[in-house]
């Protein structure tokens, strides 16, 4: 049975940078840099232009990952796209990326799978790709995390708690088969649906008839509490810390390794204070972590592959390293992975 390893990584963020002060000055939000930075560690984030969605952001990230893997796009056997911000309710974003890559024109009709596990989405996708490769069902799988949050944020004082957190971007990884003794050693996923409404953006309720109200003119009506994301911050913080610690300990226990054996930790970039608290509880030294939330904000499913691509480019992620990834997000969902790079 082959091993599955990450043969190439890629990333892309839109050009426009929005600082904390820009949120106040350009959007009129009653906030400031000190308030946001103290609570989250975020200084800036990137916003996409109108007409640019998650697949458009994912395209250059995917092309970079394919090039870095040393393969051609026609070598891909599958696309897995993790996102909470697809352009439509359906179809999924993966088919748009497949088309943007030009695969149909090349006669390559690879399957495209969307994953809706929010901040944990990339790790759910990584687990799926690993299983596909190890089973022999695929040799090269493109796993993408891509998000366009900026179009669906309440950029007003009323929405400032959530609006200040999120940014747009995409990260990609190629999971490939190898006979070498390396790669993704294991993955551990979990969920607790009791907290599904603690962090959500409902927009509509498909159980209702019609699934959102209609006005007298026949046009749909979306109430603010349905349109914008809802988050109970304290509950999210508490559960994030507990589940991320649990997921890391579970991974190390299963692999029969000590936390000290990990060379680099890739934490989901939701809140720098959450990650710092987890490191404090597990005695993880700062030099074994990398962060980019300061510049990108929370890009949800894109955070871990963005970290991978940046760390590899900067020389902080090197062959032979033992890497631990961990994420927590809406659902609640969480996951971890151990990788011999």
Active-site annotation holds for 268: yes
Distance CA 30, CA 38 (A): 16
User: One of 252, 268, 275, 325 is an active-site residue; which one?
Assistant: 268
Separation of CA 1 from chain center: 29
Nearest CA to 302 among 148, 184, 127?
148
Burial class (CB in 10 A: 0-12, 13-18, 19+), 166: buried
Please tell me which residue in 3, 68, 117, 119 is annotated as part of the active site.
Answer: 119
Separation of alpha carbons 268 and 299, rounded Å? 9
Distances (CA, A) of 295 to 14, 36, 166, 306: 12, 13, 11, 12
Cα 262 to Cα 75, 272, 322: the distances in Å are 32, 20, 5
The residue annotated as part of the active site, out of 20, 117, 292, 298, is 298
Does residue 268 sit in helix, strand or coil?
Answer: coil
Alpha-helical runs (H) found in 256-341: 272-282, 293-296, 303-313
Measured between alpha carbons, how far is residue 237 from residues 234, 262, 278 in Å? 5, 24, 11
Instruction: Point out the residues that are catalytic.
Output: 119, 268, 298
């Amino acid at each position: 049975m082959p091993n599955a390893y990450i043969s190439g990584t890629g990333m892309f963020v839109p050009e426009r940078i929005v600082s904390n002060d820009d949120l106040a000055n350009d959007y009129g939000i009653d906030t400031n840099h000190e308030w946001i930075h103290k609570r989250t560690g975020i200084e800036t984030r990137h916003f996409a232009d109108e007409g640019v969605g998650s697949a458009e952001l994912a395209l250059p990230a995917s092309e970079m990952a394919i090039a870095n893997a040393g393969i051609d796009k026609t070598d891909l056997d599958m696309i897995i796209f993790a996102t909470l911000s697809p352009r439509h309710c359906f179809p999924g974003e993966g088919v748009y990326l497949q088309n943007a890559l030009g695969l149909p024109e090349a006669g390559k009709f690879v399957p495209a799978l969307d994953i809706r596990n929010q901040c944990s989405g990339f790790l759910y996708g990584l687990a799926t790709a690993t299983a596909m490769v190890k089973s022999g069902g695929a040799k090269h799988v493109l796993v993408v995390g891509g998000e366009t949050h900026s179009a669906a944020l309440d950029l007003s004082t009323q929405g400032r708690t959530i609006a200040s957190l999120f940014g747009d971007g995409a990260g990609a990884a190629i999971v490939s088969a190898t006979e070498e003794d390396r790669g993704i050693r294991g993955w551990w996923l979990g969920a607790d649906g009791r907290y599904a409404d603690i962090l959500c953006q409902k927009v509509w309720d498909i159980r209702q008839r019609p699934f959102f109200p209609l006005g007298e003119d026949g046009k749909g009506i979306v109430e603010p509490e349905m349109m914008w994301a809802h988050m109970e911050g304290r509950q999210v913080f508490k559960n994030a810390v507990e589940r991320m610690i649990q997921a890391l300990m579970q991974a190390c226990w299963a692999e029969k390794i000590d936390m000290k054996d990990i060379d680099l930790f890739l934490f989901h970039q939701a809140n720098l204070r959450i990650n710092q608290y987890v490191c404090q509880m597990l005695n993880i030294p700062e030099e074994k972590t990398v962060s980019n939330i300061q510049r990108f904000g929370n890009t949800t499913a894109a955070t871990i592959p963005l970290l991978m691509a940046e760390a590899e480019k900067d020389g902080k992620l090197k062959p032979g390293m033992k890497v631990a990834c961990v994420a927590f997000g809406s659902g609640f969902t969480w996951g971890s992975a151990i990788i011999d790079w």
